[in-house]
Amino acid sequence: NAPKVFMKLNCNRAPFIGILFSSFCTLIAVVVNFLIPDGAFMHIMSVATAAATITWGLIVLVQYRFRKAINKEGVELSFKAPFYPFSNIFCLAFLGLLFVMMTQMDSMKYAAYVIPAWVILLYIGFLIRKGLQKRRD
């Protein structure tokens, strides 16, 4: 589901755009390490924690909405989610607690404050992509 630009291959059949993007991300890590030698690791970890929090939060929400829609249709699933919907609520509460803890740690505060902006940007990207798909159809 990655953008098609990452699928372009060079004459050696290597995904050079993907390699350049990965190299650029590594360069950012090197620059952060150079500019903030004492706190670079925690800054990178805080961004990774924020990304994981967003990812798992979305997974839990999507799974909850999927199960709810399936139940309304009366479809019997072969795998029963243990403790559904309480397991979803517990996971979201845990992620909320993680977010609160991030706001209390100096090394993770900035990532915690970036999470809402990140989610908004992801949603805007989703809306743009959805609009582009409608135009193609």
pLDDT tens across 36-84, in order?
A: 888 788 878 888 888 899 999 999 999 999 988 988 888 888 888 888 8
pLDDT number for residue 84: 85
Domain boundaries, the chain: 1-35, 39-136
Query: Mind giving me the DSSP string for 34-98?
Result: HH-TTTHHHHHHHHHHHHHHHHHHHHHHHHHHHHHHHHHHTPPPSSPPTTTTHHHHHHHHHHHHH
pLDDT number for residue 118: 87
Grade residue 1 by pLDDT with cuts at 50, 70 and 90: low
